[in-house]
A and B are shown apart, each in its own frame.
Chain A
Amino acid sequence: MKIKNKEKLLEIISDRKSNWLEYAKFQQENANWLEKSAKIAIVILRHLRKNNISQIELAKRLNVSAQYVNKILKGRENLSLETISKLESALNIDLIEIEINRNMSEAKKDKIVCININKINNRISNNQWNLFNSDNYIFKGEA
């Protein structure tokens, strides 16, 4: 197609900005925790579907609004450990587990594991992420 009237095109182009860039930058800058939030959302969604539990029912069990549950399930929520634990209790599933070796020399084997994700990741790719350093331990997550 050839442009017949450039001025007409310029007239029709909106002054209003697209917000794609703001959203895309946020996604890329926060990729680490968004990935974890997404994985938790996937596990919960599949569990709800398989057990015929509605989002409203889950909200009741957690004593939160349905809107908040929906935010979690979109995989965009920066979940606290407390919220993750409450989700585990409400659904009677394990979302994450921390295994710590008491022997310091075995510290490199310490890990945080996403229980339900392991089987899926074995078929796709191996993901590794470093979480945080404390004074005495290095926690290294492996999926």
Chain B
Amino acid sequence: MKIVRIFENTNDLLAIKYENSDIDVLEQLFKSWTDIEFIEDFFNTNISDLNTNYWNNISVEEAIFSLLEESGRLIKMFNELNNISYIERQSKLKVMFRPLDNNLSNKYEFDRTKVYGGRPRNFLRIYALKIDEEKYIITGGTIKLTKKMQDRENSNIELKNLEKCKDFLYNNGIVDKDGLDEYLEIECYED
């Protein structure tokens, strides 16, 4: 497992590059989420999830269009983050990343956190760990079709990736075992 910088010469936003991939997760996500063949196949395979009240019974074609709009917004957002100062970016990252669970409690050992965007529901999620006040490590992302990540294999894998990356940081002596673990999510809405 390797860690790469997202923005040149700063360590505020990092991303994992897994052993089985030539590229880091952020580049992988942007490529997948603009690959029409991949997206069409994904929604066709998971059509039963689209045919529910949760997604308002949208068609595969409508889902593809919606996803492409979202990925366009995410790409634009990251391009904008690249063009601002470190300090401005720090405030934006704090707003972008939100906890995974809404039920936060100090009694829990791990604190999972999230990043949001405007319509009632979006498909795309980017996940990250927060280490220190100013550093985030993107661990992966997914097209999320159900309310709970655990309910589908593709989103459940991302929960496991968060854990795997956290363990990697512990085992390499980078982070402390004490304190809360912060698991974060980005979801990008329309302005």
Complex interface: chain B residues within 8 A of A10 (CB): 11
Known: A19-B27, A38-B36. A8 touches B174 (CB 8 A): yes
Task: Indicate if the CB atoms of B17 and A120 lie closer than 8 Å.
Answer: no
Task: Give the contacting residue for B65; candidates A4, A18, A120; CB below 8 A.
Answer: A120
Complex interface: chain A residues within 8 A of B3 (CB): 9, 12-14
Minimum CB–CB distance from A85 to chain B (whole Å) comes to: 20
| Count of inter-chain pairs, beta carbons less than 8 A | 136
Complex interface: chain B residues within 8 A of A12 (CB): 2-3, 172, 174
Known: A28-B75, A120-B61. A42 touches B40 (CB 8 A): yes
Which size bracket describes the interface of A in this complex?
35 or more
Task: Indicate if the CB atoms of B6 and A20 lie closer than 8 Å.
Answer: yes
Task: Indicate if the CB atoms of A45 and B40 lie closer than 8 Å.
Answer: yes
Main secondary structure of the interface of B (DSSP, over half): mixed
**Complex alpha-carbon distance, A19 and B23, angstroms:** 8
Complex interface: chain A residues within 8 A of B2 (CB): 12, 14, 16
Give chain A interface residues in 67-103, CB to chain B under 8 Å: 70, 73-76
Known: A12-B3, A27-B75, A28-B76. A4 touches B175 (CB 8 A): yes
Question: Closest residue of chain A to B76, judged by CB?
Answer: A28
Q: Is B64's CB within 8 Å of the partner chain A?
A: yes
**Complex alpha-carbon distance, A68 and B28, angstroms:** 21
Contact with B along A25-39 (1 / 0, CB 8 A): 101100100110010
Complex interface: chain A residues within 8 A of B59 (CB): 120
17 extra A-B contacts, CB within 8 A, seeds A35-B68, A120-B65: A1-B166, A1-B169, A1-B180, A2-B131, A4-B173, A12-B3, A16-B2, A17-B8, A18-B5, A18-B6, A24-B75, A42-B64, A74-B38, A75-B35, A76-B34, A121-B65, A124-B65
B-side residues, CB < 8 A to A, are 2-6, 8, 11, 14-15, 17, 23-24, 26-27, 30-31, 34-38, 40, 44, 59-62, 64-66, 68, 72, 75-76, 78-79, 82, 129-132, 135, 166, 169, 172-176, 178-182
